[in-house]
A and B are shown apart, each in its own frame.
Chain A
Amino acid sequence: MHARRPGKITSPIVSLSTSYVKLVPLGLVIGAIGLGLAYFMSLPQGGLKRFSYSYLVTYCSLLSMSLGCLFFVTVQHLTRAGWSVTVRRIAEIFAMCLIPMFVLFLPILLPVLMQRDDVYQWVNAGWLAGDREMFREIKNAYLNPSWFGIRIVAYFVIWGMMAYSFFGKSLKQDKTADPTLSRTMQKSATWKMIIFAATLVFASFDMEMSLSPRWFSTMFPVYFFAGGVMSAMAAIILTAALLQRSGRVTDEITVEHYHDLAKLTFGFIFFWGYIAFSQFMLIWYANLPEETFWYRFRMGDSASPGWIFWSLLLLFGHLLIPFLAMMARTVRRNKTYLLFATIFILCMHWVDHFWIIMPQLNIEMGATDVLGGDPANNPLPFSWLIDVPCAIGMVGIYVALFSGIAADRPLVPLHDPRLEESLNYRNA
């Protein structure tokens, strides 16, 4: 039998200490360079429209990841989980990033409010010309700039308040060591979860599904959610591993926590596959034209054959390869393997959103404009000089946000009543 550790923090460094002073400007500089380069490169290829789409891809990847972390925090309180206490703070900080992420959404939101249809074609009222009266009424009632703006603000207010409430109470507990704060959070997690579900559903409709405003799928929010939680788990593992490499929180996050988080990642990889397959399967099987066009384009319809590669990349890279890799106990308990695996998974999460968003740009601008040439010569509708710098830049900004929020605050809850349980937690 192993001796039990007392519920005390023993690591020499439990915060970013002074590094955040360097990390924040560094992230912002990378962000400025990346986004600047991407914008400059997209000028000849469609300008703001091209750039906005690329921006939206990375934005949605990071947003769904942060929402996944918010979900993680909420569900840990909801189920009174003990094992996860030491990794919960990282998720709380990721969730806190939702507040500044509203500002990051402004480059998408403001053009919509200014009636520009660069991203969302429904902004231009003309898109419905020639449609049936009923169809036009319905679409205009839901998809119009002002109502869209109101909804977006509402989502961020709700998410921000949720994230702030968890983070703030958790920080307060660090100081006061008051166990009743945990109870308060547990109680409020119930109704917060309901509100979270409702906002996530409509946010996924608004931000991604409405890019193709004729298409609809009731499964879409679940798909968005599954990918988000999967990436959130990967992000928590990656962050924890990087923090420990730099000598922080070395004692608190043990291999058992990695093992468990990796199991959850594994579970959500499978869940994502299940949801993705079910959505595809139902549409493929029923073969209704108002739904199939979305998939047909992504399966290499004659207009743009390259998308089939992205679809296959998702099948193998987002499902089969990580599924088999994370099945191994050795991988789940090895920090080095996990580092590579989670980076790979996060890249695939980005590919997932690329696959959701970019075909719409392809449809609107025609294949050649996006591909920068003949589609036959460039099978992947993807540009190294626009999409990659844009993604790196956004991640840079996100790291700056994370570091700024974390600052010199502790990266583990110091006085959670279940800290001891978490420290002594062992997988069977």
Chain B
Amino acid sequence: MAHSHKHDTPVETGPSSKLISLVAQFDDPHSLVAACDRAREAGYKKMDAYSPFPVHGIDDAIGIRRTRLPFFVLAVGLGACAFALLLQYYVNATDESPIFPGYKFFISGKPLFSLPANIPVTFEIIVLSSAFATFFGMWYLNGLPRFANPLHRLPMFRRVTNDKFFLVLEAEDEKFSESRSRQQLEEWGAKAIEECHEDLTDQKIPNGFRLAGIVFLFALLLPPALIYRVSGMTYRQPRLHVVPDMDWQDRYNTQTRGPNIGTPESPRYLFADGRAMQRPVSGTIARGDLTESDEYFRGYKTGTLPVSEGAGPSAQDQDGQDQDGMATGTTPEPEWVDGFPEEVVVNTDFLKRGKQRFEIYCVACHGYDGNGEGLVNQRAVALAAAGEAAWTAAKSLHDPAVKAQPIGRIFDTISNGRATMGPYKDQIPVKDRWAITAYVRALQATGIRTPQELAEANSATPEAGQ
């Protein structure tokens, strides 16, 4: 930095300061190499050549030994390889550790420590570390950055980054003598020769810089200190709310007192009971919540619900199951509708909708054909056979018992579930449940009857692989 401030005033290097080197200028790389050769032959050891670009053959001419940089990089690279593999092992394949435990979790069926999947990151870490080692190692070996260099004070030397070539003989060299060396340089074809003197200017970094540097270094300690302070602390507040969504709203909660519109001494509230929110008038139903029609919403004829149950068919499931998980015949059932309710118009579009919904919600167990051979069912049956799970096989929709069921009963099965099948009424809107029911009926009408028949029909299915 020093040079950049006082570049224009080379006068400060007066003759009184110590001579440290002789700087000889050449016009082309070839005369530089030739001069270097001559200097080496003359026995000079402490010298260096300076050029705007790397000159071919100069290494031999001034006797530069091969740098050890590659070995350093190789060592760092191998270390990084070990580090990366250990890191991934520790992070994904262990979970017991006193501090910062690893995190074992299974993903896409891969082993916890799966070498093929760990190669890419390992490779990247090797390259990154080696690149850093190369970059910083090179500057370190070169003794850079060095901002105060007496050579930069010579105006002539500024062309070293442009079009001139320099040979510098250092005064420390045994063979060096000012007059003789100068004469030699002239012999070797130097176009100009200048003396480079010790830099006597104040090389100390200005106090302001020093203070700023110290403050900056201390400031650097702050983030790790803060992280250390907060690590392991428990917070009751959410960490940061950049996007507030609807977390904070100006409103009153349902069971709270309303705003006081009077004075603090004689409070008055908007409503007589003081509540912020009033309860609905008795006998009202919110828009869209009216489920009056039993045919449409529950699938049975109005008024046929057995009184003893009271809570509707859904309660039947929990109470009325025997050990097989099947609804027992003894439980009284309502009278199911055996046709579509008037709210529903069965046409092609409706069936298509039913097919689409069926393929989203039902095929996983019942299969595309409704034969009960869905992938989940196949897997669960296999697990159940191995004693690893309890499972009631999914029904084939072509089963005569299912085909005999009234439409309302099928609708009820979809809504409330049966055996291991869960209720879908919370996921599928009423109309879509009817659409599925219609599609189930359509499937049943296709003629494929049993899984066995289907297997025979598909007997040509090939095995994958060999």
A binds B: yes
**Of the residues A130, A329, A363, contact of B462 by C-beta under 8 Å:** A130
**Bound: A327/B119 CA distance, A:** 20
B33, B109, B119, B465: the one contacting A290 at CB < 8 Å is B465
- Between A and B, 24 residue pairs with Cβ closer than 8 Å are A1-B30, A1-B34, A1-B56, A2-B57, A130-B460, A130-B462, A132-B460, A132-B462, A212-B466, A214-B465, A277-B116, A277-B119, A280-B116, A281-B117, A281-B119, A285-B116, A287-B108, A287-B109, A289-B464, A290-B464, A290-B465, A293-B466, A327-B74, A428-B56
B54: nearest residue on chain A (CB-CB)?
A428
B116–A281 CB distance below 8 A: yes
* Chain B nearest Cβ from A284, distance in angstroms: 5
- A135, B466: Cα distance in complex, Å: 14
- Rounded to whole Å, the gap between the CB of A9 and the closest CB of chain B is 26
Query: Which residues of A323-382 are within 8 A (CB) of B?
Result: 327, 329, 363
Contacting residues, chain B, for A428 (C-beta < 8 A):
56
Chain A residues contacting B56 (CB-CB under 8 Å) are 1, 428
In Å, the complex CA distance between A329 and B70 comes to 10
Identify which of B34, B74, B462 contacts A131 (C-beta below 8 A).
Answer: B462
Q: A131-B462, A287-B109, A292-B465 provided; 10 other pairs, C-beta below 8 A?
A: A1-B30, A1-B34, A277-B119, A285-B110, A287-B108, A289-B464, A289-B465, A290-B465, A327-B74, A363-B466
Contact with B along A279-301 (1 / 0, CB 8 A): 01100110101101100000000
Nearest CB in chain A: distance from B68 CB, A: 12
A122 CB to closest chain B CB (Å) equals 13
Give Cα A277 to B462, complex, Å.
30
Complex interface: chain B residues within 8 A of A131 (CB): 462
B62-80, CB < 8 A from A: 70, 74
Across the interface, do A1 and B33 meet the contact criterion of CB distance under 8 Å? yes
Which B residue's beta carbon lies closest to that of A2? B57
Using Cβ atoms and an 8 Å threshold, which residues of chain B touch A284? 116
Q: For the complex, is B461 an interface residue (Cβ under 8 Å from A)?
A: yes
Contacts of B74 in A (CB 8 A): 327
Q: How far is the CA of A244 from the CA of B110 in the complex (A)?
A: 53
Interface residues on B, range: 10 to 19
Within 8 A of B (CB), among A245-303: 277, 280-281, 284-285, 287, 289-290, 292-293
A6 to chain B, nearest CB (A): 19
- Report chain A residues within 8 Å CB of B70: 329
Interchain CB contact under 8 A, A135 and B465? no
Interface residues of B in 104-124 (CB under 8 A from A): 108-110, 116-117, 119
CB neighbours (8 Å) of B108 from chain A are 287
A280 cross-chain contacts in B, Cβ below 8 A: 116
A1 to B58, CA, bound (A): 8
Among residues of B, the one whose C-beta sits closest to the C-beta of A284 is B116
Q: How far is the CA of A290 from the CA of B110 in the complex (A)?
A: 18
Contacts of B110 in A (CB 8 A): 285
Complex CA distance for A277 and B122, rounded to whole angstroms: 14
Return B312 CB to nearest CB of chain A, in Å. Answer: 46
Contact code string B25-39 (vs A, CB < 8 Å = 1, else 0): 000001001100000
Which residues of chain B are within 8 angstroms of A329 by Cβ–Cβ distance? 70
Number of A-B contacts defined by CB within 8 Å: 40
Interface residues of A, dominant DSSP: helix
Which residue of chain B has its CB nearest to the CB of A297? Answer: B466
Given A2-B57, A277-B119, A280-B116, A214:B466 Cβ within 8 A:
yes
Task: Find the A residue at minimum CB distance from B110.
Answer: A285
Q: Residue of A at shortest CB range from B114? A: A284
The 6 A-B pairs of least Cβ separation, nearest first, read A293-B465, A289-B464, A131-B462, A1-B57, A290-B464, A289-B465
For A290, list chain B residues within 8 Å (CB).
464-465
The reply to whether A285 and B464 form a contact with Cβ atoms under 8 Å apart is no
Closest A residue, CB atoms, query B109:
A287
In whole angstroms, what is the CA distance A100 to B72 when docked? 50
In the complex formed, the residue of A with least CB distance to B459 is A130
Taking the nearest CB of chain B, how far is it from the CB of A368, in angstroms? Answer: 19
CB neighbours (8 Å) of A293 from chain B are 465-466
Q: Give CA–CA (A308, B11) in the complex, Å.
A: 76
Q: How far is the CB of B458 from chain A (nearest CB, A)?
A: 11
Residues of B within 8 A of A281 (CB): 116-117, 119
A135 touches which one: B34, B57, B462 (CB < 8 A)?
Answer: B462
Which residue of A has the minimal Cβ distance to B462? A131
Shortest distance between the CB of B230 and any CB in chain A (Å): 38
B106 to chain A, nearest CB (A): 14
Report the separation of the CA atoms of residues A285 and B116 in the bound assembly, to the nearest whole angstrom: 8
Contact of A285 among B30, B34, B117, B466 (CB under 8 A): B117
Provide the bound-state CA to CA distance between A2 and B56, in Å: 10
Complex Cα–Cα for A387 and B464 (A): 32
CB distance from A390 to the nearest CB of B (A): 26
What sequence of 0s and 1s flags, for each residue 110-151 of chain B, a beta carbon within 8 Å of any chain A beta carbon?
A: 100000110100000000000000000000000000000000
| Alpha-carbon gap, A284 to B461, bound state (A) | 25
The residues of A that contact B460 with a CB separation of less than 8 Å are 130, 132-133
| 0/1 interface trace, chain A 133-159, chain B, CB 8 Å (1 if under) | 101000000000000000000000000
- B397 nearest CB across to chain A (Å): 27
A-contact 0/1 string along B51-63, CB 8 Å cutoff? 0000011000000
Q: Which chain B residues lie closer than 8 Å to A277 at the CB level?
A: 116, 119
Contacts of A132 in B (CB 8 A): 460-462
CB distance from B34 to the nearest CB of A (A): 8
Chain B residue contacts of A133, Cβ below 8 A: 460
| Proximity bits, B449-460, A CB within 8 Å = 1, else 0 | 000000000001
B-side contacts of A212, CB under 8 Å: 466
A271 CB → nearest B CB, Å? 14
Expressed in whole angstroms, the minimum distance between the Cβ of B70 and any Cβ of chain A is 8
Tell me the residues in window 1-22 of chain A with beta carbons closer than 8 Å to chain B beta carbons.
1-2
- Closest residue of chain B to A280 (Cβ to Cβ) is B116
Could you tell me the distance between the alpha carbons of A292 and B109 in the complex, rounded to whole angstroms? 14
Min Cβ gap A286→B in Å is: 10
The smallest beta-carbon distance between A314 and chain B, in angstroms, is: 14
Chain B residues lying within 8 Å of A292, measured Cβ to Cβ, are: 465
Interface residues of A in 132-190 (CB under 8 A from B): 132-133, 135
How close is B225's CB to chain A, nearest CB, in angstroms? 42
B454 CB to nearest A CB, Å: 17
CB distance from B330 to the nearest CB of A (A): 48
Contact with B along A212-232 (1 / 0, CB 8 A): 101000000000000000000
Which residues of the other chain, A, contact B464 by a CB distance below 8 angstroms? 289-290
CB-defined contacts of B466 to chain A, threshold 8 Å: 212, 214, 293, 363
Q: Contact mask B9-34 → A, CB, 8 Å, 1/0?
A: 00000000000000000000010011
Given the complex of chains A and B, what is the CA–CA distance between A7 and B405 in angstroms? Answer: 98
- For B117, what are the chain A residues with a Cβ–Cβ distance below 8 Å? 281, 285
| Chain B residues whose CB sits within 8 angstroms of the CB of A1 once the complex forms | 30, 33-34, 56-57
Q: Which residues does chain A contribute within 8 Å of B109, judged by CB atoms? A: 287
Closest CB in chain A relative to B54 CB, distance in Å = 9
